[in-house]
Amino acid sequence: MVSGKDETATFGRKLKMGMVGGGRDAFIGAVHRRAAMLDGAVELVAGAFSSTPEKSKLSARDFYVSEDRAYGTYQEMIEKERALPEGERIDFVSIVTPNHMHYPIAKAFVDAGFNVVLDKPMVHSSEQANSLIAAVEEQDAVFAVTYNYTAYPLVKQARQMVREGKLGEIRKVIVEYPQDWLRTKEEDTGQKQASWRTDPSRSGIAGSVGDIGSHAENLVSTITGLEIAEICADLTTFVPGRLLDDDANVLMHFTNGARGILSVSQVCTGQENNHKIRIWGTEGALEWIQEQPNYLTYWHAGDPVQVMARGHDYLCEAAKRATRLPTGHPEAFIEAFGNVYLNATDTIRAKIMGVEATELERDYPTVYDGARGVYFIEKVVESSKSNVKWLPFQWTPGK
Amino acid sequence: MVSGKDETATFGRKLKMGMVGGGRDAFIGAVHRRAAMLDGAVELVAGAFSSTPEKSKLSARDFYVSEDRAYGTYQEMIEKERALPEGERIDFVSIVTPNHMHYPIAKAFVDAGFNVVLDKPMVHSSEQANSLIAAVEEQDAVFAVTYNYTAYPLVKQARQMVREGKLGEIRKVIVEYPQDWLRTKEEDTGQKQASWRTDPSRSGIAGSVGDIGSHAENLVSTITGLEIAEICADLTTFVPGRLLDDDANVLMHFTNGARGILSVSQVCTGQENNHKIRIWGTEGALEWIQEQPNYLTYWHAGDPVQVMARGHDYLCEAAKRATRLPTGHPEAFIEAFGNVYLNATDTIRAKIMGVEATELERDYPTVYDGARGVYFIEKVVESSKSNVKWLPFQWTPGK
Amino acid sequence: MVSGKDETATFGRKLKMGMVGGGRDAFIGAVHRRAAMLDGAVELVAGAFSSTPEKSKLSARDFYVSEDRAYGTYQEMIEKERALPEGERIDFVSIVTPNHMHYPIAKAFVDAGFNVVLDKPMVHSSEQANSLIAAVEEQDAVFAVTYNYTAYPLVKQARQMVREGKLGEIRKVIVEYPQDWLRTKEEDTGQKQASWRTDPSRSGIAGSVGDIGSHAENLVSTITGLEIAEICADLTTFVPGRLLDDDANVLMHFTNGARGILSVSQVCTGQENNHKIRIWGTEGALEWIQEQPNYLTYWHAGDPVQVMARGHDYLCEAAKRATRLPTGHPEAFIEAFGNVYLNATDTIRAKIMGVEATELERDYPTVYDGARGVYFIEKVVESSKSNVKWLPFQWTPGK
Amino acid sequence: MVSGKDETATFGRKLKMGMVGGGRDAFIGAVHRRAAMLDGAVELVAGAFSSTPEKSKLSARDFYVSEDRAYGTYQEMIEKERALPEGERIDFVSIVTPNHMHYPIAKAFVDAGFNVVLDKPMVHSSEQANSLIAAVEEQDAVFAVTYNYTAYPLVKQARQMVREGKLGEIRKVIVEYPQDWLRTKEEDTGQKQASWRTDPSRSGIAGSVGDIGSHAENLVSTITGLEIAEICADLTTFVPGRLLDDDANVLMHFTNGARGILSVSQVCTGQENNHKIRIWGTEGALEWIQEQPNYLTYWHAGDPVQVMARGHDYLCEAAKRATRLPTGHPEAFIEAFGNVYLNATDTIRAKIMGVEATELERDYPTVYDGARGVYFIEKVVESSKSNVKWLPFQWTPGK
């Protein structure tokens, strides 16, 4: 279980976090703050929270950040923080702006030598992704992308079971992510999230595919380790006047011969955040459902169904480490998000202390996961426009 | 609730049923018999149960059918039964042979003036289907196809709610039917069902698509009333050496603009008979799961989820009629199958008595439903072989 | 699986069933008929279906029973059937009247040499129960009491697992049976079931305890094999003006030291027929829920939860025999009820043929189970009236 | 939703928290810290974390508390903190020691003018409870008892629905809390929690009843508002050699005539933390299950079952305020615990600012709730020892 003591205590101080974006009313910024500080070993000390210096200072006051470290722009933040001595300046920055700002801000922070936690989807294009990969590699930055769903302990357990061959050879994968929050033209009501997510200039080339399809891709890739060989995508915009897709159905062929379906939607009336994956192999199968995250269902051919639960001794080390409470005391979204931060910040701390982070600590989504997600979005959009059934999918990290 | 008395009592005798196929060891034959006789108003009096006269007689003894009406061939059965006086000869025949015999047998019985209950998929080709439609229309035969899943009371309720506009305009449909009984090469073990279902000469051009994909198509069409405009299919044979598909994923466009996914499989380890449909409309959504058939989940935008259950006053007439027990006393597969027989036999009885069957009585899958299913199978197979993404789907009854 | 062929075919004819009670509008009579005839090896040939000869004949017509075997009284039925030659006269009688008629009718049929299937609770008093035991023993009658819930295959599996020690020593049992059909004064509306069940002269000394508490006792006793040592009962009548209890909560001490709770109610708004048992032992635990009867949940200390399902190879022989369909093709209430009839009628057939019924065939609730249930009802009512906490429970068959 | 800004921002600084107990390895201490700091408006600045000054300082380092405020004893802590100026000294103390230290420590802090958050059960006896009530009233202290389960948003919704009459008159309540963590003699393994919880000198007169029975009582009282009139309790110690009860079954009569069952256990193999309540009224019913805390099931007579979920507009204000994330992004145990802190600390802040806390802010379990829980424990133990069935239950706050 997460203890919040060992190496963090040796480190002797809380890790210092900065934030870009995430001011008042921003949904995901508050999640990042709660997640980062969940284990009591991180403190928020600086930020460029909003688009104007005035708003940024108001947000800083909300978050008990001192006024002199509430910056008007991310450029100012980089400049001033860089000038502070180590131990006083931020140890890492969390970037939680709308998508279109991810690339310039992340690139600038990495280039300036900072470690970065970045929201998904990482950037707008594979070109940007590759540029970011190059920068991260050059700077040896700790760089995490908050694909939070793969940080749930039972997802880590699922990944482990696939690796151990508990499913045999995987034959079929169905990943779904239906929501309903954009079932009407929410973007016309002034709702901030809806507004930028449906705006190509800020959200990118995809709507639902970018926002939640990228999570679905990450869930499949993380658990199964399978590589997509070709895809056949069908994007739809159901709400009249909307500029980006709000529904996507994608058939997938994997390189091992497995078949897949990825189906995401933001117009499925009544669906809340029903991210779900089912994986069938020759010997076994798994199901995990985000809205019931503490459970993992496992079928082994011919045997009774098994329901595994968080907190038990039979789980793998990565799952155990990602847990804060005993069985039956449910953990949820914030705690999983916190697991990305836990591992990223433990890795940052190790880096600062000059020791090597363990494999368990380095278990967070990286710039490469982020890049694969961006390529996935590009290819799905491309396939959807094509009359040819199968579009090859050939992702190579950094290329 | 099904009472088993009113018009059946007026009729004054049990309806007489014959059977072709369904001898000892046949799975579906026993289901048909239990379903037909569930309400105590039908008796099995004749049959050509097996491929040889000897075996047919043995089966007849099992079923307490008198030896002189245990026929060696369906042709003999037609000839001899036809010679019996009405009231003594069979009132209808149930045909439960492997698929390849459906057409010749059904055609012969219809042409000879008999009413028919036929297992699905109806026949091997649209040509056969249209020929059968013509015969049924000419003879004015009562002709039912045992798409049993659409006979569950909660499926009838779902259909009614769609008709009443409780979902608004339908946007998305996902229908699934995963099983695992063919996950290994069961056909090599001598298992009778597996043997003929994976044999193109008996099963037809499709494996899983014919066996369970046809049920899935019927479920979508029955509940939603939507018409498919074009499809994009991906059939796979996972088990080496198998001659027909054992997995199918199909994207669908409906004529109203709705999107759909149909996914069926017989190699999904751990899945039993998990037929399931989800339908999302602009105002509401529905989910029904065959393994929990007494419940129907309904989402109305912004409201608590509603779970409807069999036996309640709030259900529609068709659902109420399809029920034999009070709430909480679960009904299941045989009872639903029995509902096809209940309505078909009430219609047959009405026909014999020269009265018009009510709309509720005529609520069973017809030769047209069967024909649409056959066309669906043909198109899915055709699309799967094509590199063009979308294959038009233009079904017209009888053409 | 139930095949409906082997010894029944050897027997050469359908078994002949008579019925007392169960005329038009009777709920449970229709269940008995469907259950008895589910496997095609039983036919209804005679009955005293109603309180008047005229009504009895009308019901006979509904059930296709010939008029000359529709009797006006059970006495007439005994006399006339007895006079028929074996093979023509009924092989057994099903008694489905209100409770107060159970004893005289069952006693008379047994004394006349007939086999009997009787609804529960068996009779009104332990005195009657013991008299019936004596008669059954003297006549060597096949005598079954339709505690249908213990005939579900997964209940048989639960019993087997307890016997095999999969739970270790049992420590705690909670059995519940909440319904809501008597939440208002239904008996004042003319509803037939409600009317007699709340009338002490017909229902006996208990209301909910007699109707469903007896099922709960049978479920506990059948699965666990534990013996009750003492009880502490709290009966309540919630609906003003009702003459019998409509709610009961009972604490139990078992002779092995285990603790138990039995809670039944007919006024629990929204509850349909939620009969449920949970059993915890030192090593494992089980849960079975009647409304989801095809599943059994098993916990073994420290392991993932296991969900067992009907139809699988891993189940015990008694469970397999009690099954008619493959996994995932759900079976339910009528099929379980049919299992009582299947085993009772197989035993009757064996008796007639002069062979010994197998242990699997003799697996139905007997006159002793019925007598224990009657004693349970008596003791619960006695305890509820007492201010002493614990009332000894010392049941000895026939005494 | 919890915003973490308005009045807290006006307050201008984080609220300062001290802690007694909760050092390294303490389970519940870490929960309190995470819960208190979840919304970013509280900081831990002082503590007497352990039984020795050395250990206390080690824990302080783990928690980034400065060494000079890591106290060796709670007395020292009171003395030194009191000497600090307001704004620097702690604003409240969280007491998370084993039960036997609750009273002296809480009493001392209250008497010294501090606000207190105290773990449950509050104290060892009604005498202590009443003494604490008097002190709290005299000092006008903000005093919260961490009955965390009643702080889940859906529990607040349940309470509101009862108040609004959505259930009609309540007739029956079943509250359960089965666990299995003490199913073997865990206290002999050196496990710290097990050790003190099964030790009468530290845990008090009850084992399972004190630890989790008190939660169950609080859940019933909070949601229903019913008052217990008399009880009939049956406590058992299943594990040989254990000194306190590890299982309890209690029948309850409420003053309005409703009946209840309370059943808790720490030896129910396979049960994790399955706290659950069901409430049936004349018009409606509710069910809430701690392990699925984001849902509340509501039955209204004759209507489809309704499943309410966290985050929706249809919930009451208290439920909305207790929520941090949108629907489908699950919240869980820590967040609910955080809700006790949120309301208690908002009330503390209001008190410091000299304004009146709102009713929504004052929605946390008080010293009176704590006292009722202590009385409940006493009466259950007393009843269990008695041979008289019903023991009167007459709790009056402070008497």
B24-72, pLDDT tens digit by residue? 877 899 999 999 999 999 999 999 999 888 999 999 999 999 999 999 9
* Contact residues, chain A, for D62 at CB < 8 Å: 4-5, 8-9
Contact B259 A236 (CB under 8 A): yes
First to last CA, chain A: 38
Q: What residue has token string 């695992």?
A: B180
Say if residue B330 is exposed, middle or buried (CB neighbours under 10 Å; 0-12, 13-18, 19+): buried
Cβ distance C41 to B64 under 8 Å?
Answer: yes
- Which pLDDT tens digit goes with each residue over B120-146? 999 999 999 999 999 999 999 999 999
Cβ distance B276 to A260 under 8 Å?
Answer: no
Q: What distances in angstroms separate CA C43 from CA B36, C154, C221, C350, one per listed residue?
A: 15, 28, 32, 17
The pLDDT score that the predictor gives to residue D27 is 85
From the list C273, C309, C324, the residue facing B329 with the nearest CB is C273
Domain assignment present for residue C263? The answer is yes
Contact C280 D178 (CB under 8 A): yes
Cβ distance A183 to B301 under 8 Å?
Answer: yes
Angstroms from C338 CA to nearest CA on chain D: 30
From the list D62, D273, D274, the residue facing A4 with the nearest CB is D62
Average pLDDT over residues C245-263: 98
Query: Nearest 5°: CA angle at C15, between C13 and C16?
Result: 115
A140 and A168 in a common domain? no
d(CA B110, CA B131): 11
State the average pLDDT for chain B.
96
Angstroms from C62 CA to nearest CA on chain B: 5
Cβ distance D145 to D341 under 8 Å?
Answer: no
Instruction: Assess whether pLDDT exceeds 50 at residue D4.
Output: no
% chain B with pLDDT above 90: 93
* CA-CA-CA-CA dihedral for A362, A365, A369, A371, to nearest 10: -110
Q: What residue has token string 């210096």?
A: A53
The pTM for the full model equals 0.97
Domain assignment present for residue B99? The answer is yes
Instruction: Assess whether pLDDT exceeds 70 at residue C7.
Output: no
C238 and C293 in a common domain? yes
Q: How many beta-carbon pairs under 8 angstroms link A with C?
A: 34
Q: What Rg, from alpha-carbon coordinates, does chain C have?
A: 21
B361 and B285 in a common domain? no
The pLDDT score that the predictor gives to residue A1 is 55
* Contact residues, chain A, for C304 at CB < 8 Å: 298, 306-309, 312, 314
C273 and C204 in a common domain? yes
* Contact residues, chain D, for B305 at CB < 8 Å: 306-309
Query: Nearest 5°: CA angle at D346, between D340 and D351?
Result: 125
Q: How would residue A4 be classed by pLDDT, with cut points 50, 70 and 90? A: very low
Q: What distances in angstroms separate CA D97 from CA B305, D50, D105, D197, one per listed residue?
A: 42, 9, 9, 11
From the list B34, B272, B311, the residue facing C327 with the nearest CB is B272
- Which pLDDT tens digit goes with each residue over B239-291? 999 999 999 999 999 999 999 999 999 999 999 999 999 999 999 999 999 99
What tokens does C218 get?
A: 């049978």
Q: What Rg, from alpha-carbon coordinates, does chain D have?
A: 21
Contact D388 C389 (CB under 8 A): yes
Angstroms from B358 CA to nearest CA on chain D: 28
Phi first, then psi: give them for residue A350, nearest 5 degrees. -60, -45
ipTM of the complex: 0.96
Instruction: Assess whether pLDDT exceeds 80 at residue D5.
Output: no
Contact C305 D268 (CB under 8 A): no
Domain assignment present for residue B390? The answer is no
Contact D232 C236 (CB under 8 A): no
Instruction: Assess whether pLDDT exceeds 90 at residue A8.
Output: no
% chain A with pLDDT above 90: 93
**DSSP bridge partners of D27:** none
Average pLDDT over residues C213-224: 98
Instruction: Assess whether pLDDT exceeds 80 at residue B233.
Output: yes
Average pLDDT over residues D170-185: 98
- Which pLDDT tens digit goes with each residue over D337-349? 999 999 999 999 9
CATH of the domain at A25: 3.40.50.720
- Which pLDDT tens digit goes with each residue over C93-132? 999 999 999 999 999 999 999 999 999 999 999 999 999 9
Instruction: Assess whether pLDDT exceeds 80 at residue C377.
Output: yes
Q: How would residue C4 be classed by pLDDT, with cut points 50, 70 and 90? A: very low
Cβ distance A306 to A167 under 8 Å?
Answer: no
Q: How would residue C389 be classed by pLDDT, with cut points 50, 70 and 90? A: very high
C246 and C138 in a common domain? no
* Contact residues, chain C, for D263 at CB < 8 Å: 174, 261
Question: Which chains, if any, share at least 3 CB pairs under 8 A with chain C?
Answer: A, B, D
d(CA D346, CA D335): 16
Q: What Rg, from alpha-carbon coordinates, does chain A have?
A: 21
Beta strands, E only, chain D: 15-20, 42-48, 92-95, 115-118, 143-145, 170-178, 228-236, 247-254, 259-265, 276-281, 284-289, 295-300, 305-309, 391-392
The pLDDT score that the predictor gives to residue B4 is 47
From the list C303, C307, C313, the residue facing A305 with the nearest CB is C307
Give the residue ranges of DSSP H helices in chain B.
Answer: 6-11, 27-37, 53-62, 74-83, 102-111, 126-139, 153-163, 192-197, 200-203, 208, 214-224, 317-321, 333-353, 367-385
Q: Which of D389, D390, D391 to probe by mutation at the C interface, max C CB count within 10 Å? A: D389
d(CA D116, CA D105): 10
Q: How would residue B192 be classed by pLDDT, with cut points 50, 70 and 90? A: confident
Domain assignment present for residue A308? The answer is yes
Domain assignment present for residue D255? The answer is yes
A377 and A253 in a common domain? yes
State the average pLDDT for chain A.
96
Cβ distance B109 to B136 under 8 Å?
Answer: no
Domain assignment present for residue A334? The answer is no
Question: Number of folded domains in chain B?
Answer: 2
Domain that holds residue B317: 151-325+373-385
Contact D39 A44 (CB under 8 A): no
Instruction: Assess whether pLDDT exceeds 80 at residue B301.
Output: yes
d(CA C270, CA D302): 7
Average pLDDT over residues B211-236: 98
The pLDDT score that the predictor gives to residue A2 is 60
B351 and B314 in a common domain? no
- Which pLDDT tens digit goes with each residue over A58-88? 999 999 999 999 999 999 999 999 999 999 9
Contact A299 B178 (CB under 8 A): no
Q: Which of B34, B212, B275 to probe by mutation at the C interface, max C CB count within 10 Å? A: B34
The Cβ-side half-sphere exposure at C197, using a 13 Å CA radius, reads: 24
- Which pLDDT tens digit goes with each residue over D299-336? 999 999 999 999 999 999 999 999 999 999 999 999 99
The number of angstroms, rounded, from the C-alpha of C283 to the middle of its chain's C-alpha atoms is: 30
From the list B302, B305, B312, the residue facing D313 with the nearest CB is B302
Give the residue among A192, A257, A152, A183 at the shortest CA–CA distance from A28.
A192
C172 and C113 in a common domain? no
A306 and A246 in a common domain? yes
C300 and C205 in a common domain? yes
The pLDDT score that the predictor gives to residue B9 is 57
Q: Which of B172, B228, B296, B305 to probe by mutation at the A interface, max A CB count within 10 Å? A: B172
Average pLDDT over residues C171-195: 95
Q: What is the DSSP string of C7-74?
A: HHHHH-SPEEEEEES--TT-HHHHHHHHHHHTTS-EEEEEEE-SSSHHHHHHHHHHTT--GGGB-SSH
Cβ distance D167 to D285 under 8 Å?
Answer: yes
Angstroms from C12 CA to nearest CA on chain A: 38
Instruction: Assess whether pLDDT exceeds 80 at residue A378.
Output: yes
Taking each helix axis as running N to C, give the angle between helix C214-224 and helix C367-385, from 0 to 180 degrees, rounded to the nearest 10.
120
Instruction: Assess whether pLDDT exceeds 60 at residue C74.
Output: yes
State the average pLDDT for chain D.
96
C173 and C84 in a common domain? no
Domain assignment present for residue A333? The answer is no
Q: Which of D291, D310, D313, D315 to probe by mutation at the A interface, max A CB count within 10 Å? A: D291
The pLDDT score that the predictor gives to residue A206 is 96
Q: Which of D5, D176, D264 to probe by mutation at the A interface, max A CB count within 10 Å? A: D5
Contact A305 C302 (CB under 8 A): no
From the list C307, C309, C312, the residue facing A307 with the nearest CB is C307
- Which pLDDT tens digit goes with each residue over A235-287? 999 999 999 999 999 999 999 999 999 999 999 999 999 999 999 999 999 99
Average pLDDT over residues B353-375: 97
D259 and D352 in a common domain? no
Contact C305 A307 (CB under 8 A): yes
Instruction: Assess whether pLDDT exceeds 60 at residue A319.
Output: yes
- Which pLDDT tens digit goes with each residue over A204-235? 999 999 999 999 999 999 999 999 999 999 99
* Contact residues, chain D, for B313 at CB < 8 Å: 302
CATH of the domain at A205: 3.30.360.10
Domain assignment present for residue C336? The answer is no
The pLDDT score that the predictor gives to residue D33 is 97
Q: How would residue D11 be classed by pLDDT, with cut points 50, 70 and 90? A: confident
